[in-house]
């Protein structure tokens, strides 16, 4: 038995020197000390020894065990140390390397134009009002003098959610809501910028676009006030030498109504490709608020008057920056956005 113990000892210590990983070490441990290991089976034979031999042999086996445990521990620590060192080598960070630059976004030209329009009107004492994009039939149509089956209510153009709930087709509901909230206080002097939705989609129409509408309600507001304000706005937006003209038009919510042209910002009025030779470019619609709409907002049309106007932001942006295709405004291509 002594020889066998000696052999296990020699074999094990020799194999230990050949190991290359902690997994192999674990396997060797099982081969020697595991349930079916060589040392374990030897221990099982101890019962066959004489009473005199047994304690001696027990002592030898215990010593071997301690010796092997120590050798294993040493080897284990060696593997751990190597693993740590190689990790440190592999994961070393070169702090002198320049970092990756993150791609930067850019403010959208539509946001820029909206901010510019807001600044111009805030400079004239207007405040900014906002409201829901999902509206009721009442605020989007009824209160704006567009009763059910009015011919100007183009059902084809409206995204309905239910019979009574829809995506707003204009920002005018914001003005009705503001009048309701504010009455009987005067003046009501707001602009309402925001997204609007219409069911058409081609090269010149998008199902979602942006509007800025304005409303001024007070005692003694006149059409000439509207004209002066729009001239000031046009010059701020498109240059000091711009002129404007008003052409009679029709909107259900204003009476009288006008379409507003600005003298061409490309040719100055001489006639060119942009203004199709006319010298004028349409930029917005406007008019005196219809008495019925004032009433729906909670104001007495015998005591107060008001004007309103509305413009499409995409159109203003395209004219201001010479953008020829509206779809560029919706692609969000950074190479396009960075030009503004």
List binding-site positions for Mg(2+): 255
Which of 72/209 has CB closer to ligand 2U9? 209
Q: What's the count of helices (H) and strands (E) in the chain, helices before strands?
A: 12, 9
User: Six-digit token pair at 322?
Assistant: 């010479």
298 touches ligand 2U9 by CB under 6 A: no
Rule CB under 6 A: choose which of 226, 229, 265, 293 binds ligand 2U9: 293
212 touches ligand 2U9 by CB under 6 A: no
DSSP 18-79: H--SHHHHHHHHHHHHSTT-HHHHHHHGGGGS-TTHHHHHHHHHHHHHHHHHHHHHHHHHHH
308 touches ligand 2U9 by CB under 6 A: yes
- What's the rounded Cα separation, in Å, for the pair 274 and 69? 92
> Of the ranges 20-28, 62-70, 129-137, 170-178, which one interacts with ligand 2U9 (CB under 6 A)?
170-178
Which of 109/193 has CB closer to ligand 2U9? 193
Rule CB under 6 A: choose which of 190, 284, 318, 326 binds ligand 2U9: 284
- What's the rounded Cα separation, in Å, for the pair 22 and 45? 30
Q: What angle do CA 308, 313, 318 make, to 5 degrees?
A: 135
109 touches ligand 2U9 by CB under 6 A: no
**225: Cα separation from own chain's centroid:** 40
8 touches ligand 2U9 by CB under 6 A: no
289 touches ligand 2U9 by CB under 6 A: yes
Site for ligand 2U9 in 213-272 (CB under 6 A): 213, 215, 251, 253-254
Which of 64/120 has CB closer to ligand 2U9? 120
- What's the rounded Cα separation, in Å, for the pair 209 and 196? 6
Rule CB under 6 A: choose which of 168, 234, 285, 304 binds ligand 2U9: 285
- What's the rounded Cα separation, in Å, for the pair 289 and 309? 9
Which of 39/214 has CB closer to ligand 2U9? 214
> Of the ranges 61-69, 118-126, 233-241, 308-316, which one interacts with ligand 2U9 (CB under 6 A)?
308-316
Q: Which of 131, 143, 116, 201 is nearest to 167 (CA)?
A: 131
Tally Cβ neighbours within 10 Å of residue 173: 25
User: Six-digit token pair at 3?
Assistant: 């020889």
117 touches ligand 2U9 by CB under 6 A: no
The residues that touch ligand 2U9, with contacts defined as CB under 6 A, are 170, 172, 175-176, 211, 213, 215, 251, 253-254, 284-287, 289, 293, 308-312
């Amino acid at each position: 038995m002594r020889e066998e113990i000696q052999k296990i000892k020699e074999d094990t210590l020799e194999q230990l020197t050949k190991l290359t990983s902690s997994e192999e070490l674990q396997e060797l441990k099982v081969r020697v000390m595991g349930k079916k290991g060589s040392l374990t089976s030897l221990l099982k034979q101890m019962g066959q020894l004489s009473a005199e031999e047994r304690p001696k042999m027990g002592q030898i086996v215990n010593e071997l065990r301690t010796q092997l445990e120590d050798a294993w521990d040493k080897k284990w620590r060696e593997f751990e140390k190597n693993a740590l060192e190689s990790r440190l080598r592999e994961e070393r960070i070169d702090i002198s390397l320049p970092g990756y630059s993150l791609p930067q976004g850019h403010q959208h030209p539509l946001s820029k134009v909206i901010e510019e329009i807001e600044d111009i009107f805030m400079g004239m004492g207007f405040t900014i009002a906002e409201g829901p994009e999902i509206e009721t039939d009442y605020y989007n149509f009824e209160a704006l003098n567009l009763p059910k089956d009015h011919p100007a209510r183009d059902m084809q153009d409206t995204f309905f959610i239910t019979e009574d709930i829809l995506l707003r087709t204009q920002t005018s509901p914001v003005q009705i809501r503001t009048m309701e909230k504010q009455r009987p206080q005067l003046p009501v002097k707001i602009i309402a910028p925001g997204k609007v939705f219409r069911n058409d989609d081609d090269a010149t129409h998008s199902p979602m676009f942006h509007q800025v509408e304005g409303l001024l309600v007070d005692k003694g507001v006149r059409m000439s006030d509207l004209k002066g304000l729009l001239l000031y706005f046009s010059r701020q937006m498109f240059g000091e030498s711009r002129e404007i003209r008003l052409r009679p038009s029709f909107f259900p919510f204003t009476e009288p109504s006008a379409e507003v042209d600005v003298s061409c910002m490309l040719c100055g009025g001489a006639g060119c490709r942009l203004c199709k030779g006319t010298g004028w470019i349409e930029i917005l619609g406007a008019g005196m608020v219809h008495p019925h709409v004032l009433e729906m907002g909670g104001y007495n049309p015998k005591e107060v008057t008001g004007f309103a106007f509305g413009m499409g932001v995409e159109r203003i942006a395209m004219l201001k920056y010479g953008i020829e295709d509206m779809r560029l405004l919706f692609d969000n291509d950074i190479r396009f956005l960075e030009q503004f």
